[in-house]
């Protein structure tokens, strides 16, 4: 549960929620304008379907726009979507990189603590520590 809270915190801190909110508002405005302007798109759900095809760059081809305004909005919407997806992907990748870094630091701190307190470790703990040191050394030797 902590990881979910951390991800939500990162999304809030990076303003990703606001960015998505503005994008969704723009999406619905585009769908509304296209619904009003396009003779071949007669319902708002059809306009949303068209915008979805534009945003996902799927381009099903079942609906097309013919007015210049709708075409311009389609281009802007598709470019905007690519930017939003890139930003969101970057935020998520950064989140996972931070999680890996936290684990690495915790593992290193635990390892150093054991090294500093060798005299207090049991035979099993010493054997485990020895095995971990060998694995670490082998990883360095083989470039891992």
Who's near 44: CB < 8 A, 6+ residues apart? 31, 32, 35
Catalogue all structural domains in the chain, each as residue range(s) with its CATH number: 2-141 (1.10.287.70)
> What's the chain's length in residues?
144
Give the model's confidence band at 7: pLDDT under 50 very low, under 70 low, under 90 confident, else very high.
Answer: confident
> What's the whole-number average pLDDT of the chain?
87
Give the model's confidence band at 40: pLDDT under 50 very low, under 70 low, under 90 confident, else very high.
Answer: very high
Higher pLDDT, 71 or 99: 71
Average pLDDT over residues 2-18: 79
Higher pLDDT, 31 or 139: 31
pLDDT tens, residue by residue, 106-135: 877 787 877 788 888 888 888 888 888 888
Q: Look up the pTM and report it.
A: 0.67
Average pLDDT over residues 57-85: 93
Q: What is the structure's pLDDT at 32?
A: 98
Helix H, strand E, coil C: the string for 99-139 is: HHHHHHHHHHHHHHHHHHCHHHCCHHHHHHHHHHHHHHHHH
Give the model's confidence band at 12: pLDDT under 50 very low, under 70 low, under 90 confident, else very high.
Answer: confident
How far is it between the farthest Cα atoms of the chain?
82
Whole-angstrom CA distances from 100 to 95, 106, 127 are 9, 10, 26
């Amino acid at each position: 549960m902590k990881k979910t809270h951390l991800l939500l915190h990162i999304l809030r801190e990076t303003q990703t929620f606001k960015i998505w909110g503005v994008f969704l508002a723009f999406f619905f405005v585009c769908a509304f304008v296209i619904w009003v302007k396009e003779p071949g798109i007669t319902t708002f759900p059809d306009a949303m379907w068209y915008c979805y095809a534009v945003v996902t760059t799927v381009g099903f081809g079942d609906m097309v726009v013919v007015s210049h305004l709708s075409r311009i909005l389609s281009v802007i919407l598709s470019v905007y979507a690519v930017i939003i997806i890139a930003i969101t992907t970057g935020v998520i990748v950064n989140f996972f990189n931070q999680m890996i870094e936290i684990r690495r630091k915790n593992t290193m701190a635990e390892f150093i603590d054991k090294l500093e307190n060798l005299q207090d470790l049991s035979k099993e703990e010493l054997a485990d520590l020895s095995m971990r040191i060998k694995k670490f050394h082998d990883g360095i030797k083989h470039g891992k």
